[in-house]
Amino acid sequence: MGGPGENEGAPARRPPREQFRAYLEGHRRNPLTTTLTGARFLNAFQVPWFRIAPPRGFGVLTTVGRKTGKTRRTCVRAIRDGTGAPTDEKIRAMHEKWYTDGTPVVIELSTGR
């Protein structure tokens, strides 16, 4: 193991940065996931479907503009930290902590069904 001549003919290992650059050069990027126009298209296409039946691990985040009051919806990857769904008790405790320790934030949780 590790003797002379053992890896003859194998390509030399490149530094990580060089490997990453080579990967990007040979990788064709998907314009739907790497451009602003593509992101807008995917969001407009996915939001109606995700509101009806979001795939496991995804959800629709709804925000309201501070100045305009417009409702905006965005598809997001949702990773639940811990187990179980939020309960009324947990939500009340979270709101109490926000109001006493920080900036009040309201998040409406619904299953969309």
Amino acid at 72: R
Please determine, for residue 102, whether its predicted confidence score (pLDDT) is greater than 60. Answer: yes
Q: Break the chain into its structural domains and give their ranges.
A: 32-101
Please, are residues 51 and 112 in contact by the beta-carbon 8 Å criterion? yes
| Alpha-carbon span 22 to 16, nearest angstrom | 10
Of the two residues 89 and 109, the one the predictor is more confident about is 89
Q: Looking at the predicted structure, is the pLDDT value of residue 96 above 80? A: yes
The CA distance from 31 to 42, in Å, is 11
Confidence of residue 70 (pLDDT cuts 50, 70, 90): very high
SS (H, E, C) 11-62: CCCCCHHHHHHHHHHHCCCCHHHHCHHHHHHHHHHHHHHHHHCCCCCEEEEE
CB 84 within 8 A of CB 93: no
Mean pLDDT for 63-73 is: 89
In tens, the pLDDT along 32-45 reads: 877 888 888 988 89
**Is 70 exceeded by the pLDDT of residue 1?**
no
* pLDDT for 84 beyond 80: no
The predicted structure's pLDDT at residue 36: 86
| Greater pLDDT, 87 or 28 | 87
Whether residue 3 has pLDDT greater than 60: no
Based on the number of CB atoms within 10 Å of its own CB, is 74 exposed (0-12), middle (13-18) or buried (19 or more)?
middle
Measured distance CA(88)–CA(86) in Å, rounded: 7
